[in-house]
Amino acid sequence: MEASHSPQLPIESDGHDERGAVVRPLEDRLVIERLDVVDELAARVVRDQAAQKRAPAETVRKAIEIGTRVIDSESVATNVDLVKRELESGLGDLNRRLEATLEDGSSSLADKIAQTFGEERSDSVQQQIKGIVAEATEQQRLGLVKLLSAEDGSNPLVAVQARMGKAVLEAEERHRQEMARLREGHANEARALQREVAGLRENLARLLEKQQGEERLAEAEEAGTRKGRSFEELVHAELEAFAAAHDDAAHHVGDTSSEAGGKMGDTVIEVGAAAGPAQATIVFEAKNRKLSKNDVWPELNGAMAERDASFALLVVAGEDKIPSGLRELTEYQGNKMIVVLDREEPDSDALRLVYRYARAKALAANAERFEVDAAGVRAATEEAQSKLKTVNRIRKSLTNITSSAERAREDVDGMVADVDRCLARVEALIEVADGEG
């Protein structure tokens, strides 16, 4: 075997360390013998690579190659810094020389520029430029004044003024048309409002005329003229028939003044006056119009006071004439009642029973003059009033019930008979007491 001709490091005492490791660089390779590297990271990397099927020698070889390149780059960087410092030192001297040269050159250049362009020189470039600019500005000003003062189409203001004038005229025309439309609209609205007001006035006039006519008719009826007199006479005729059956006296006093001078009350009933002295007085008010609730009591109280009566009855010409809030056949304040006598289809049963009820109450009011069974009278009177309400309720139901009309009529007749018996008992008690007296 021939010996290697590659250059080798001599094997000397300083070629290995104290542990006997030897490293010999041979041209493009290294020969390492008995080298022990104590580095935890290096050992772990070699183990990890071996676990990934990479030979430990290959891993160490790669580590050496990478490490040597790092070391080499650090030395190159150091040389670059050295060169940079040297270059900066040389350039700094050159820069200082250039600055001195430029300062000298700029001073002389400034002197030359000042001589040529100085403002204090009349023939300087600046003065010449100022003169040229001033002359051109004056020429432009004169040309602009001439242009704007022209009255032909060359003046741009003429076209602007024409357009503005046209726009103003158009705006004025639009405003005039709009105002005309508004005035027309307002006029139409005013005319419509006037027509509406005229219609309202016409309707109001008709309503007022109708109301006034009704009031005049009611007043005429109350005063005993034309048709109004007929309802008052109708009521009086019924009362006069009832009075004759009981030896009472009926007086039509609607147009007759009382001793106090008033004319309140339409019919006065003097109980028992047809057979002897009057034992009590009852007053009837016949109304063909509806009184308010607040007007009823003054009307009846005034009639009682003027006619010296102890009981007052308001006879109205229909259920729609009953004062609001009050009821028919209900005794109020112990001496007042309201009864309906239909003017078109008069049914005198209710009025007849109320007549007898009021007669009994008026006689009972004077019971202190007789030895009378006051408890019996009171009980019979209360029963009669209850029966009266029942009779009235059934009578009203007859107008709406057709299938049981006959049975209801029989019930009414029976109730009427009951009321008659109750009132007869009251009258008998009073007559007995009167006879004993």
Residues whose CB is less than 8 angstroms from the CB of residue 360 and which lie 6 or more positions away in sequence, other chains included: 377, 380, 381, 384, 423, 426, 427, 430
Per-residue pLDDT of the chain (437 residues; tens, 9 = 90+): 344 444 544 444 445 566 677 888 888 778 888 788 888 888 888 899 889 888 888 888 888 888 887 777 776 666 666 656 766 666 666 667 666 666 666 666 666 666 666 656 666 666 777 778 788 788 778 877 776 677 766 667 667 777 777 788 888 888 888 888 877 877 777 777 777 777 777 777 777 766 666 666 555 555 544 444 578 999 999 999 999 999 999 999 988 877 777 889 999 999 999 999 999 999 999 999 999 999 999 999 999 999 999 999 999 999 999 999 999 888 999 899 999 998 887 878 889 989 998 998 888 877 655 555 556 666 666 676 677 667 667 766 665 665 566 667 777 777 778 878 877 887 777 776 666 65
Contact between residue 309 and residue 283 where contact means Cβ atoms under 8 Å apart? yes
Residue 247 has which token pair? Answer: 């030896």
Question: How does DSSP assign 97-135, residue by residue?
Answer: HHHHHHHHHHHHHHHHHHHHH-TT-TTSHHHHHHHHHHH
Question: How does DSSP assign 373-436, residue by residue?
Answer: -HHHHHHHHHHHHHHHHHHHHHHHHHTT--TTHHHHHHHHHHHHHHHHHHHHHHHHHHHHHHHH
Beta carbons within 10 angstroms of residue 354's beta carbon: 24
Measured CA angle at 116 (ends 110, 119), to 5 deg: 95
Say how far apart CA 234 and CA 316 lie, in whole Å: 12
CA–CA distances in Å: residue 276 to residues 38, 248, 249, 368, 427 = 162, 9, 10, 19, 16
Beta carbons within 10 angstroms of residue 272's beta carbon: 19
Tell me the residue ranges of DSSP E strands in 279-380. Answer: 280-287, 311-316, 336-340
Which amino acid is it at 171? A
Say how far apart CA 228 and CA 215 lie, in whole Å: 12
Break the chain into its structural domains and give their ranges. 224-436
Give the residue among 308, 356, 304, 366 at the shortest CA–CA distance from 335.
304
